[in-house]
Amino acid sequence: MKKVLTVLWLSATLGLAAPIEGYMQTLADEAKKTDASFSGFDAKRGEKLFFSEHVGKKGKKISCASCHTNDLNKAGENVFTAKVIDPLSPKANKERLSDVKNVKKWLRRNFNDVYNREGTALEKGDVLTFIRNY
């Protein structure tokens, strides 16, 4: 327990992960309001969401991996614009998940591209948990 508190204190002191942690808590609060049995985000559910294919934007069958690849440590390419996408994994790209405003923007856009709708708090939290644990 002392180690966990030390890591949390260091993270808060150094500004590491604090913004995304706050956003994750907001998502958890929203998920709990929607489903009283909510007990936390799940990386396995997030992985399933990330790799599942759907008829998305422009009627094309895609998944998150269509642009971000099956290896989140590698660069991807947007299937609609052909623009290079930096690695999604925070382990490979220190900028990932560091700006909550940017995270919200891209979650909204990407869920709309793949699912033709905005993601739920549970889905967003699960996908972020998968990405963070990748």
What pLDDT tens digit does each residue of the chain (134 aa) get? 455 444 444 444 444 457 999 999 999 999 999 999 999 999 999 999 999 999 998 898 999 999 999 999 999 999 999 999 999 999 999 999 999 999 999 999 999 999 999 999 999 999 999 999 99
Please count the structural domains in the chain: 1
Strands 54-55 and 84-85: unpaired
Spatial neighbors of 33 by CB under 8 A, at least 6 apart, are none
Domain that holds residue 10: 2-133
Spatial neighbors of 62 by CB under 8 A, at least 6 apart, are 53, 54, 56, 79, 113, 114
Find residue 77's DSSP bridge partners: 84
Q: Helix 100-115 vs helix 18-34: angle between axes, to the nearest 10 degrees?
A: 50
Residue 69: give its domain's CATH number: 1.10.760.10
Kindly report the pTM of this predicted structure.
Answer: 0.84
